[in-house]
Chain A
Amino acid sequence: MVATREMPLKEYVLKGNAACAGCQDMVALRHAHKALEGDVIQVVPACCTSVVQSLWPKSGLAIPVLNTAFMAAAATASGVKAALKAKGNDTTMVMVWAGDGGTFDIGIQALSGALERRTDFLYICYNNQVYSNTGTQRSGATPLHAQTTTTWHGKTEPEKMLDLIVSAHEPVYQFTANTAYPRDLYDKFKKALEYPGPKFGHIFLPCPQAWNYPVEKGVEIGKLAVETGYWIQWERIGEEFILGRESKRFQDPEKRKPIDEFLKMQGRFSHLFKPKRDDKKIKEFENFIQHRWDVIMRAFT
């Protein structure tokens, strides 16, 4: 794994951008771009990044950014890639940077199309599990029992297992990452540079606004997501599945930290503990965690 001192000093996420305090998206962008080192065109559909990256006439990122419509990120990137090819440029990375709504829900058709066409690009879904830009509405990525402004008493369904949908398109490289592990995230972007063809990265990132936790707790929550087994760190290079070393330790449910530690830090789950612990709902949440482990391991190993 890269040592922190080996990462380029150059910053592509500039000071004075409009991100909220404690925004983990900025952590993801910062390390992604340090790995990509500038030879990239970033396509951004409607999402938090389209707001925080720039308020005209300023620009918060030191790379070319093309904003596009909510459901059109992967299609727009297909066009950018085709234009580069037409002009003889086969080296510049075309990267989509989309939220979970723009990926799991409204943008999934364009994503599927671009993957099926074997478009040589990197699609990143940064997943804060909610339509946070519009004020915290539930998305297909919102977890079971999470409160949002369209599920006031908690969501009644678990999140879509998007990674399995993506993997059915057989990308050349697919990974999950988590902003609590920025060096790992950096390495995965470096690796993405090595494989021509469709690539997909799914980044878990806590959101202090939507999840309702103190702004300095993002990394702690990100780590707890892995340590409770809620989030699984893995990579898939073609058919080869690699369970991330951070997650390997927590494959055995006995070794996982209690899920309460993860849930209790977040206001969106506070109703699970008021007036007293809702054992049934928390059990359902835990069951889904194990179910996801089972499905992932069964599908990929």
Chain B
Amino acid sequence: MKTELMSANYAAARSVISARVEVVAAYPITPATTVPEQIALLNEDGFYTGQFIRVESEHSAIFACIGASSTGARAFTATSSNGLLLMDEGLHWAAAARLPIVINNINRSVSPSWNIHVTHDDSYSKRDTGWIQFYVSSVDELYHTIIQSFKLAEDERVLMPVMINSDGFVLSHTLSSFDYLEPEEVDKFLPPYSPPHWVMDPANPVSHGNIVFPEYYQEFRYMMHEGTKNALKVYEEVEKDYKHLFGKYFGGPIDCYKCDDAEVVFTSQGSIAAEAKDAIDELRDEGYKVGNARVRMIRPFPVDKIRELGSRVKGFASFDRGVSYGFGGPVANDIRASMYHTKHRPMIKSYIGGLGGRDMTVTDIKEVILDTFKAVESGELGPEETWHDLME
């Protein structure tokens, strides 16, 4: 392990070497572009020895990954926003084909209007494809979560693809230190890929993706659902292993900070969740019992962990950097749904903001949290949904 200083995108490109990815297929889109750029350079200079396919669209990128993974190769791609949306058909395909492909989606606002900065709408809109979804907060976390994701995706109890989301520019183009692992070190954790199930092989011919009639189709879907749900338990093992081997631990599906005695917990995804720690510290100094729950995994949704937290707090201030148009904050709604059948029902206030890359500073986060404290202290929920910093 050696410490390097790089942007998240450059680190993501290095994870491809560390994880012995055999096939990368990618297409440029801001802000993801520097991932394939770096992989190309590493490939041409002989550091990345796998195959890099410079495809002509994101749709082809995901389907080249599908072809590679179906032939038993470890496959990776990176994209953003409209690129992820163009992949949609392939995202559903990869999940239903149970292919352990890993994507680094660098979150960017969806057009129109053109905006290359962070909003989580791109990945939120892929929530129901079957992909396991992580949101990360640092360069180091991104690099290691990509490596962990292959282990998670390839586990036969899971066999579902993984999307790791990192905020455009805030992470993708910001330099920070991370601990690089040589592939020989990673081998102990993640051996070269050799799937024990079907692959495209003339020595053992099988057909994959055949027509399935209504009497069986539903069962395949049920197995996908089970596979995705299993990811919660399997990820626990993955993280335990990783911590043991490399001393790295990122907090499970929900990374809690000062939550033990908290009356209000602030939840969020991505880089805001890191910024929030400072807000928590300042509010603690001011006497507020507040904690930070950084939601790292939104699919499968960590229902038990939310219920455990919810059983102890008076309120959630749940922040979404994206919207389900017509129904509000996607993660806030998942928290509400998780708590409905429990005895103790804390207040759950939903906040939406930071869209299009608008800054969410410590001051902004404190304002959101204090708004929830006001509701908790007064006993009046007030608005269920608040758009933070919305112009009149």
The listed residue with most A CB atoms (<10 A of its CB), out of B71, B73, B200, is B71
A68 close to B67 (CB less than 8 A): yes
A79 close to B54 (CB less than 8 A): no
B68 close to A80 (CB less than 8 A): yes
B205 close to A78 (CB less than 8 A): no
Closest to B60 in A: A75
A83 close to B23 (CB less than 8 A): yes
B59 close to A64 (CB less than 8 A): no
CB distance from B25 to the nearest CB of A (A): 6
Q: Does A82 contact B (CB under 8 A)?
A: yes
Closest to B211 in A: A55
Residues 25-73 of B contacting A (Cβ, < 8 Å):
25, 50-51, 53-57, 59-61, 63-73
- Given A64-B207, A79-B23, decide whether A110 and B60 contact each other with a Cβ distance below 8 A: yes
CB distance from B315 to the nearest CB of A (A): 45
B73 close to A68 (CB less than 8 A): no
Please measure, in the bound complex, the distance between the C-alpha atom of A56 and the C-alpha atom of B205, giving whole angstroms: 14
- Given A64-B200, A85-B51, decide whether A53 and B207 contact each other with a Cβ distance below 8 A: yes
Q: Mark B186-230, 1 if CB is under 8 A from A, else 0.
A: 000000000000001110111111111100100000000000000
B63 close to A79 (CB less than 8 A): yes
Closest to A69 in B: B89
- Given A72-B60, A78-B53, A86-B73, decide whether A55 and B67 contact each other with a Cβ distance below 8 A: no
Please measure, in the bound complex, the distance between the C-alpha atom of A60 and the C-alpha atom of B210, giving whole angstroms: 10
Closest to A40 in B: B202
Q: Does B93 contact A (CB under 8 A)?
A: yes
B67 close to A77 (CB less than 8 A): yes
Q: Mark A76-105, 1 if CB is under 8 A from B, else 0.
A: 111111111111000010000000000000
Closest to A58 in B: B210
- Given A79-B67, A83-B67, A86-B50, decide whether A67 and B207 contact each other with a Cβ distance below 8 A: yes
Q: Mark A46-79, 1 if CB is under 8 A from B, else 0.
A: 0000110111111111111111110110111111
- Given A55-B210, A65-B207, A68-B63, decide whether A80 and B56 contact each other with a Cβ distance below 8 A: no
Q: Does B121 contact A (CB under 8 A)?
A: no
Please measure, in the bound complex, the distance between the C-alpha atom of A81 and the C-alpha atom of B73, giving whole angstroms: 11
Mind listing 17 A-B residue pairs with CB under 8 Å? A50-B211, A53-B210, A54-B211, A59-B210, A63-B205, A64-B200, A65-B208, A72-B90, A75-B25, A76-B67, A78-B25, A78-B67, A79-B23, A80-B67, A86-B22, A86-B23, A87-B71
Sort A-B residue pairs by CB-CB distance and give the 5 closest, nearest first: A79-B67, A67-B209, A113-B56, A75-B60, A83-B71
